[in-house]
Amino acid sequence: MTFTSTGELLGGLAFFFFGLHSVREGMQLYAGDRLRNILLRLTDNRVKAFSFGALVTMILQSSSATSALLVGLADGGLLTLNQAFAVILGADVGTTAVVFLLAAHSVHAYALVAITIGFGLYLVASQRSLRYLGQIISGIGLVFYGIAITVHAMEPFREAHWVQELLAALAVNPFWAVVGAALFTALVRSSAATLGIALSLAYSGILTLDGALPFVLGANLGTTITAAMAAVGGNVNARRVAGAHLVSKLIGVVIVFPWMGAAAVGLHTLSGLLRTWQTPFDGGVGLEIALAHFLFNFGVTLVFLPLLPIGVRLICRLIPEGIQPERYGPRYLDERALETPSLALAQAAREVLRIAGLAHEAFHHSIALFERGPDFFAVVERIEAVDDKLDCLDRGVRFFLAKMSQELLTEEQVKAQLGLLDIGSSLEEVGDIVSKEMIQLGRKRHDRQRTFSDEGLDELRVYHAKLEDLFTIVIGCLTTHDPVLARDAEGRSRMLISMEEDLRLAHLRRLHEGVKESIETSSIHIDLLSDFKHVAQKLGHVARISLEPGR
């Protein structure tokens, strides 16, 4: 063992980890908003949620990342516990695809070819999707090149006495190998990375299957630690998702751990059967490690997926509701999702819907500022409380979107990011129109003890009701992204903008007729019509943005 071999080992690991990062980033960019659409389509169908979890993890290249994101989504109420647990089971199976890819030892010889092709495609391709594909191909090449270097660098370690003594100690007490692998997996947030190193040790002849199985169990257990850490400080749903993941994996490890010897014999037999087929695997320890990882996770799924409702009830009993301090703020934003732009945009879009709901609520109460019956100060207090919430959410969304790395965003995602910022700003301005301008007009009317004429007040009520209908349609646009709804909203907005001029002329007619109430409230009435028109303009603007590409 020399300084050169140690440097070669560290360099190989650097290539390996950088390649994994490059593949993951390229997959996220290549998938784009498909990942967001997958999450938005999750249902209570456990098989469908399981399948989506497997697919998402193939894109994220890490079940740890998926489970941590699911904890954040459950914390915000975006997913139920049933949905999240089914997705996690799928994620655990999905991550085995990466390990099978790493176990395809025969393709290591083509690592430099893959790097060359991928890098060349990244440089010369004009389409973004082809550039992302080039990044994925070159990243895969870097992973395999890193493994090849690591295997070569580990050969001198095979004869090192301390390595032999360590492996002998772990063989006597494999429990510590499980613990060490679990902690390392939690540190690097990827079971594939842990198993990739185990594969390198196996290829270099240092690690046998019997010695590798504790690493497989530890890597699977370590993925739950990431989710558990993510759940710290979260609500009861977040803790339940993390708890369900931990309990399922822990039960699996406890069941398999005493039978690792028998499992190794079975894997040898299965590997021998597969060796007779034409596969890219060499049929040695590498394939056996990949099979062990797959069969463990598939076995956990076979046990827990059919028993999902029972398992959820058990977790709910183990982690009861308790007393939660009430707090208001962004519900769906999770900074862990910033590494996956499509998920981050989905979360921000969900929060913008809450902003739209609050703006609608504030506007709904605004007409009461000018009615004769309601308690004026109670209405003001209600509107200001809603506006404070609206400002809080708008600020949270803006800061969240500002943290997104522009390097990770596709062109469509950049448009979606700017669109969400614009929509949030427009809705926040609607809230300001109500909480500042309309309240000021209402206070002027109340302090002067003025009332509108019956005809004038009826016109304002009709105008307000039509604007509420427009609000409902605009929220529908943001929810469904339906172009028919968006065009309908735009048309209604233009009609209501024109309506303001008609109502202004009707008010002037009452002034000419000498209607006492109209004369006393003229400036308030005209300014209120102007505020209503501004709301119609803002809502029309939101509807137009919802039609733009990327939304």
Query: Above 80 in pLDDT, residue 547?
Result: no
Whether 85 and 67 have beta carbons less than 8 Å apart is answered as no
pTM to 2 decimal places: 0.62
Half-sphere exposure of 314 (CA within 13 A, CB side): 12
Q: How far is CA 190 from the centre of its chain?
A: 17
Alpha carbons 258 and 303: distance in angstroms, whole number:
18
The CA-CA-CA angle for residues 76, 79, 85, to 5°, reads: 120
The CA-CA-CA angle for residues 95, 65, 132, to 5°, reads: 75
Alpha carbons 503 and 506: distance in angstroms, whole number:
5
Mean pLDDT of 91-97: 76
With cut-offs at 50, 70 and 90, classify the pLDDT of residue 325.
Answer: very low
Alpha carbons 206 and 69: distance in angstroms, whole number:
36
- From the list 148, 69, 91, the residue with the least C-alpha distance to 115 is 148
CA quadruple 269, 271, 273, 275: dihedral sign: negative
| DSSP structure class, residue 184 | H
Alpha-helical (H) ranges within 232-284 are: 236-256, 260-275
Alpha carbons 96 and 156: distance in angstroms, whole number:
30
Alpha carbons 407 and 417: distance in angstroms, whole number:
13
Whether 535 and 497 have beta carbons less than 8 Å apart is answered as no
Whether 321 and 248 have beta carbons less than 8 Å apart is answered as no
Q: How far is CA 486 from the centre of its chain?
A: 26
Whether 241 and 81 have beta carbons less than 8 Å apart is answered as yes
pLDDT at residue 466, as a whole number:
94
Query: Above 80 in pLDDT, residue 20?
Result: no
Whether 6 and 156 have beta carbons less than 8 Å apart is answered as no
Tokens of 210: 């019997």
Q: What is the Cα gyration radius of the chain?
A: 30
Whether 105 and 374 have beta carbons less than 8 Å apart is answered as no
Element (H, E) at 408: none
Mean pLDDT of 185-208: 75
Alpha carbons 239 and 387: distance in angstroms, whole number:
31
Residue 435 to residues 74, 372, 460, 526: CA-CA distances in angstroms?
Answer: 33, 19, 18, 18
Alpha carbons 545 and 551: distance in angstroms, whole number:
8
Alpha carbons 429 and 125: distance in angstroms, whole number:
42
Tokens of 136: 């994925």
pLDDT at residue 355, as a whole number:
94
pLDDT at residue 106, as a whole number:
59
pLDDT at residue 230, as a whole number:
61
With cut-offs at 50, 70 and 90, classify the pLDDT of residue 7.
Answer: confident
Alpha carbons 213 and 174: distance in angstroms, whole number:
9
With cut-offs at 50, 70 and 90, classify the pLDDT of residue 386.
Answer: very high
pLDDT tens for 326-377 read 567 787 787 767 777 777 888 888 899 999 999 999 999 999 998 877 788 8
Query: Above 80 in pLDDT, residue 124?
Result: yes
Alpha carbons 223 and 242: distance in angstroms, whole number:
10
Query: Above 60 in pLDDT, residue 387?
Result: yes
Residue 539 to residues 186, 426, 435, 480, 486: CA-CA distances in angstroms?
Answer: 46, 8, 17, 16, 10
Whether 332 and 344 have beta carbons less than 8 Å apart is answered as no
With cut-offs at 50, 70 and 90, classify the pLDDT of residue 549.
Answer: very low
Alpha carbons 398 and 297: distance in angstroms, whole number:
39
Mean pLDDT of 126-146: 79
Reduced to 3 states, what is the DSSP secondary structure of residue 386?
helix
Query: Above 60 in pLDDT, residue 61?
Result: no
Q: What percent of the chain shows pLDDT beyond 70? A: 76
| Burial of 245 (C-beta count, 10 Å sphere; 0-12/13-18/19+) | buried
| Burial of 316 (C-beta count, 10 Å sphere; 0-12/13-18/19+) | middle
pLDDT tens for 144-183 read 777 777 766 766 665 566 555 666 666 667 888 888 888 8
pLDDT tens for 294-321 read 888 888 888 887 877 777 787 877 777 6
Query: Above 60 in pLDDT, residue 38?
Result: no
pLDDT tens for 438-486 read 999 989 988 888 888 889 889 999 999 999 999 999 999 888 888 888 8
Most confident of 34-38, 434-438, 516-520: 434-438
Q: How far is CA 523 from the centre of its chain?
A: 49
Mean pLDDT of 176-192: 78
Tokens of 398: 């803006």
